[in-house]
């Protein structure tokens, strides 16, 4: 049983990687890479150029996915293949406040 528990995930990943690239396959790989909690609060689509677009339910989850994005790209490779996802773009919750230029950082904010 111990041998099977080590071999089965690799066999499954190989079979999935060889399957056609579909939205269902992307969703499955996302759940496998990020876990059930992240999959539950996000929606993913694969865009041109290997950009995985992630829509998070709220800013906290968007921040968490942003923090994990490089690890998630690596964790998607066994399921989708090398280079299928080149980067992750995250959206969700409140819009990000634009960064202030260094020249404006010492100026008071309006409001």
| pLDDT 10s digits, 54-63 | 999 999 999 9
- The pLDDT of residue 14 is above 70: yes
Q: Are 79 and 16 in contact (CB under 8 A)?
A: yes
- The pLDDT of residue 1 is above 80: no
- Lowest-pLDDT choice from 5-14, 23-32, 73-82: 5-14
Tokens of 95: 């819009």
Give the Cα separation of 83 and 76 in Å (integer). 10
Pairing of strands 42-47, 51-56: antiparallel
pLDDT tens, position by position, 92-111: 764 444 455 555 555 565 55
Give the Cα separation of 60 and 97 in Å (integer). 15
Model pTM greater than 0.85?
no
């Amino acid at each position: 049983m111990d041998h099977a528990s080590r071999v089965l995930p690799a066999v499954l990943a190989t079979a999935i990687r060889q399957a056609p690239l579909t939205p269902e396959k992307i969703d499955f790989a996302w759940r496998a890479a990020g876990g059930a909690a992240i999959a539950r609060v996000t929606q993913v689509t694969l865009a041109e150029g290997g950009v995985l677009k992630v829509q998070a339910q709220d800013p906290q989850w968007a921040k968490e996915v942003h923090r994990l994005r490089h690890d998630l790209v690596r964790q998607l490779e066994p399921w989708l293949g090398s280079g299928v996802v080149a980067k992750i773009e995250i959206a969700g919750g409140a819009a990000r406040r634009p960064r202030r230029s260094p020249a404006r950082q010492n100026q008071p904010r309006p409001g």
